[in-house]
Structures are given as C-alpha cells and as structure tokens.
Structure 1
C-alpha cells in the first residue's frame, strides 16, 4: 500500500477514536432538555459517524485482500478476543468494586458471554459477527464490477437506512424489509463494503476537493442536528431517531468524513511513525475512556456548573482523551500488552 494512504488510514482511525470520546461526553446531556441541550445536540450530531468510520476502515483494509477463511479467522480473532476478554474482566471487576458486592462476581464474569460488561464494549461483540462475514463479503466485493458494487450499496442504503426511517413516520406501511425478505441487506456490515468502495475510489482519483468533502460532512451533521431538534420539539422530549448509525444523514456524513480525513491524512506523511503509534493505541483508548470519564466526573462535576457546554465539552474531551491515551501508550511499550490493549 502507498505510504500516503497508510498514513491517511492511521489519521482517520485516530480522529474516529477522538470522535467517540466527543460522542460519549455529549451524550450525557442529550437525553433530557436543558438550557445547554442545543450544544449537546450539536456536538453529538457532529461526531455520529465515528463508529461507521471504524467499520469503513475495516472494509478498506480487509475486503481487497485474497485470504483463506481459516487464516483470516485465526488472525482476526487472535486480535479481537484478547482485548474483549481483558476489558470485559476489567469492567466486571470495576463495577463490583463500585458496588462493594463481590458475591455475584463469578456470575458476572460468565455473563459476558451473553453481552458486554459495559455498554461501549458492544462494538467488540459486533466485530465478531462482522469478521465472520468478511471472508465471504470479500469474495463478493473482489469479483463484482463497479456497477454491481453500486447496486449492492444502493439496495443496502434503501433497506437499512431509508425504509426504517420512513416506517417510523408511516407505521402503516408495515415491516417491508421482512415481508420481502430483505434481511440480507440490513445491519452495520454494509459500512464495511462501503469503506472498501470509497477507499478504492480515493486510490484512483486524480484530484480530491477537501473543501467539497468538508462541506458535505458539515452539511450532514447540520441535517442530523436540525432533524433531531425538530423531532424533539414535536415530541416534547428528546428524540434520538436521527442519531442512529444507519440514519441517512449519518451514512452520508461517514462517506464525506472518510474522504475528508483520508485527504487530510495523506498530507501528513512526514508524521507517519507518530500517527502509526497513536493509531495502534486507539482500541485501548476506546475501551478505557469510559472508565476515565467516569472517574474524572467526580472531580470536574462541581466545577462545570453554570458554565456553557459550548466550551466545556471540548475541554472535557481533550482532558479525557489525553488522560486515557497516556496509560495506554505507556502500557503498549511492553510487548505483551500490545495484544490486549
């Protein structure tokens, strides 16, 4: 792979991880109306594409490879299961420590087989199913013409993104996707296919307009924020329908965001080594930042009262990201830890 593209992928991964932190900080205030709710909504809308970006990165890196099923599963699951087990145990022990009740510890440890020990770990569980499908999706992708790829993505977008949205406002139409057996085109795995397709277009493009991609990304975020504002006012309570990762606005934002971040990243080849090291820490940052955010809230809680969330949210995000990155970076200097964090 060209060095500039590799740097672009690392940069995109780092920013997507930062966006996750913004998402979880801003999410603390979107569930209830307040005088700062507009700011929480704006920041949340701006970074909704974070998880789709991660999935698109997987597609960009994996779908173009010709790799045997056994080899693929061995490599991917050796990368995903150690962190999944480690962080699940970490959060089970932490929750037991907070409650002071260790009597159900063994049951809690076994419960991670059924679901995540803490809410944000859902992504690691989702990767298991997505990775199981990727070898077969890869064959489809590599042997499809450009027109066939566009057809697949178009059907996925309509079935997974448009139909659920229309059905919300017009429930009388029923479950069209189920009636017509369209379940093969639903779910987050479409982002993997989308990521591979957009990445291939980036590799072959003659010239990229960063301004156009930035405008598209911002427009998508504004549409998400305005739609959420309108729907919440209509319902009299915050409604997060348009925050769905499969919302049409979020999907559009993911495409423009991926192109924008790749375009910016390819211009940073001189920082390739630093960006690669930071990108390697993103999984650990993703898993640990909720713990840091929770512990830090004990300290910052009293100090942010009366201050505008317009600047408080960026300040908290910066503090949480740095305080999470530091221990992860240090731990990864020891080779055994690189396999689990």
Structure 2
C-alpha cells in the first residue's frame, strides 16, 4: 500500500506493520500454553495484548486516506484496487497454498474435481491465517462508491450517531448472542465502524490531551492482558476472547494510538526516519509475506522459546521485519514480479 502523505500516518502505518508481526510471534508462543511456563505465557500475552490495535488502525487509515480520497471514478478505483491489493494477495495466496498444502496438492488419489474443489475452498477461506484481513479490506473497499458520498455530506452529529450505535453494539453483541432477536443490527456492526471512525478522526479538529490518551491506552491494554491471562490460567488453555478486534478494549487502544500519532509532536532521528519510511512504503508486502518467514523459522527448527520470550519475541520480530522488507524490496526490482510483491 502506498504511504500516506502525512508523516504521522506513515509512522503509524509502519508501527502497526511491526506490531502485527509482534502479535503473530507472541501468539505462536502463547498457543503453546499450558506446555510452557506461566512466565513465558504471561510475557507472550503482554506483547500480544499491547499490539491488538494494529489491524483496526490499518482499517482506520484506509478510512482516513483511501476513502477520503475516493474521487468517484469507479473504473479507475477498481483497477487500482486490483493492481495494488488483489493481485499481490492472489500471488501470496498461491505461495501459501503450496507452502502449507503441498502434500494435499500432490496427493495422487485426488481427482481433478477434488483438487479443484480443494484449491477453491482454500482460496475462499484463506490459504494462511493472516489473510483474513485482506478479505475484510476488499469488502470494505467495495462500499467506497456509496459510503464516500455519505462521508462527504455527513455533519459531525451524523458521524456521532453512527459511531454511537456501533460502539453500543460492540458492547451489547456478546449479550445479544444469547437471545433469539429479530432485530438486524448488521448495518451498524463489524469493521465498517473502524472505517468510518478513521474518516471521522482524520477530519475532526478537536484534540484530546496526550496524557489522557496514554492513560486510556494503558487501562485498555492492562484490561486486555490481565483478563486474557487469568481466564486462560483458570481454563488451563489459551483463551483470546478478550483480544477480539471488535471489543471495546481493543477499540479504545486503536482510538488512542491513532490520535496520539495524529496530534502529538515527536522527534524521529534521520536514520530511523529512513527505516520507518521504508517499512511504510512496503507495509502491504511485509504484511503478506511475514508469515512465510515465521513459518520458515519454525520449519528450520527454530523454537520461539529458545530463550525467554521477553527477548525472543523482539529478536524474531525484527529479524522477520528485516527479512520480509528485504524480500519485498528485491522482488520490486524484478520487472516480472514487482507488481506481485505488494
């Protein structure tokens, strides 16, 4: 995805890209519970919880830039969406299909029809666990031709009206699931709320004091980490129910992180600025490819608990970011594959 025009947005996208990898490395550790020590599990939950805002922020940035800059030319918009999002997604989906399902693809007992059905099922459901985000973002992009008309015409009260219903439903949904209700709240639910929230916050002139943003983020993070840890300990298995992207605690973390980067002044050294801009420029490709790198590490026998996760999670994260970024940069230098890199 192309970097945003504003430095804070570039920085936020780069930080979120690193955060997603932290999340997946930490999850690889926490999924081993109860076979790992509780201190290892708590550390992995700590890292995982701290980065749960990443995917919601990606969607909020799409609302801030892609949605805000939609110009009504549908043909041009969908052509760009295919080239920038769908084409790299299809390429990496095939890569993961062969990586994870090689034995199934090479099964001599499968008929052509069975093989076709298997491939289609894999592509429709996702050939790798992190690909779900791309399915979500494509569906959200399909709403742009009409959602953009609303966001351009909507006044603040209308934004608040929609977002208030969305937030209330995030709170009520766990309880509504226990009742057989005929109300259809799907029009105000799901990831569309993050898209609208990002568009609203991008244009909102009001600022919230940075200290309060830090306090609210810390409260939401601690709630997520502690509830996840103790419910997992009590059930003697990893339980991520409080890490759901569509939960109020994760929403609050995403809200605070977005506004902190947007509103606060901070200094970045020139060398670090170059690294951040490089990660931002290649963020989509890094996102698509990073799980391949992580699984190659595992395939080569590297345990993510070779040392305490307090050290192993950052080490593996930065190694993965570096290798993934290098891979995407090199791919973009090759004419035949540069459009597939992401």
Please show how residues 133-282 of structure 1 align to structure 2 within 5 Å: 133-159=143-169, 161-167=170-176, 171=178, 174-176=179-181, 179-201=182-204, 204-205=205-206, 209-263=209-263, 267-268=267-268, 275-282=276-283
1:166–1:111 distance in 2 versus 1, CA, 3 Å: closer
Per-residue deviation at 1:163? 1.1
Residue range with higher mean Cα deviation, 232-241 or 142-151: 232-241
SS for the counterpart of 1:155 is helix
Q: Which 10-residue stretch deviates more, 292-301 or 137-146?
A: 292-301
SS of the residue corresponding to residue 246 of structure 1 reads coil
Say if 1:292 and 1:323, in contact at 8 Å, map to a contact too: yes
The answer to whether residue 88 in structure 2 is matched with residue 83 in structure 1 is yes
Match of 1:30 in 2: 30
Compare 98-107 and 82-91 and name the one that shifted more.
98-107
- Distance (Å, rounded) in 1 between the aligned partners of 2:118 and 2:43: 37
Per the TM alignment, residue 81 of structure 1 is displaced from its structure 2 partner at its CA by 1.6
- In 2, the alpha carbon distance for the partners of 1:4 and 1:86 equals 24
Name the SS of the counterpart of 2:302 in structure 1: helix
How many Å separate the matches in 1 of 2:227 and 2:107? 45
TM-score normalised by the chain length of structure 1: 0.85
3-state secondary structure, aligned to 1:114: helix
Deviations 1:164-208 (A, max 9, x none): 23457xx3xx155xx22211011111111111111222xx35x66
Q: Is the alpha carbon distance of 1:277 and 1:334 closer, same or farther for their aligned partners in structure 2, counting shifts above 3 Å?
A: farther
Query: Which deviates further from its counterpart, 107-116 or 215-224?
Result: 107-116
Give how far 1:253 is off: 0.3
Query: What displacement does 1:70 show?
Result: 3.6
The corresponding residue for 1:10 is 10
Count of aligned pairs between the two proteins: 328
Change (3 A) 1:295 1:210: same
Q: 1:63 maps to which residue?
A: 67
Give the Cα separation in 1 of the matches to 2:104 and 2:286.
24
Q: 1:86-121: CA deviations, max 9, x gaps?
A: 111111222344678365665544334422111211
Q: Which residue of 2 aligns with 1:311?
A: 311
1:293-337 Cα distance to aligned partner (Å, 9 max, x none): 1111244635844x3212211111111111111111222234654
Tell me how far apart the structure 2 counterparts of residues 293 and 4 of structure 1 sit (CA, whole Å).
27
SS in 1 for 2:125: coil
Cα distance change, pair 281–132 in 1 and its aligned pair in 2 (3 A) = same
Which of 41, 47, 50 is the aligned partner of 1:43? 47
- Offset at 1:4? 9.6
8 A Cα contact 2:304 2:313, kept in partner: no
Partner secondary structure for residue 143 of structure 2: helix
Q: Residues 56 and 266 of structure 1: is their aligned pair in 2 closer, same or farther, counting only changes over 3 Å?
A: farther
Residues 98, 105 of structure 2: 8 Å contact kept: no
